[in-house]
Amino acid sequence: MDYVKVASAGQIADGALVPVEAGGEKLLLTRVRGTYYATQRKCPHLGGNLCKGKLDGEAVVCPLHKAKFDLRTGGVERDPKLLFIGMKAKSGLRIYPVKEMGDDIYVGI
């Protein structure tokens, strides 16, 4: 696994959902109470951009159908829903390890 610099620590405010790229992958980088998380950026349901979603504790909520994914494990916390129609989130999120070295943030890819 290679670690790729994706940002400087000063660029990532707590609670921000930041689009970054590493190794050709489009990722979401965020920080929750000082801990960094990186996941795939596209929702595994129908491709919603998770950078336009919302944080809910250590989870991200997709802006399209409100599926909720745990940032620590990638697991599905809540399946998507459209009006009253329940759907299935196909899979969890791919997650990536994050390292902070000095003032730089690296993601393992």
Part in contact with ligand FES (CB under 6 A); list of ranges 7-15, 19-27, 38-46, 97-105? 38-46
Question: Tokens representing 17?
Answer: 């959902």
Q: Whose Cβ is closer to ligand FES: residue 18's or residue 67's?
A: 67
Residue 64 near ligand FES by CB under 6 A: yes
15 alpha-carbon distance from chain centroid: 11
d(CA 74, CA 51): 15
Q: Which residues bind ligand FES (CB under 6 A)?
A: 43, 45-48, 62, 64-65, 67, 80
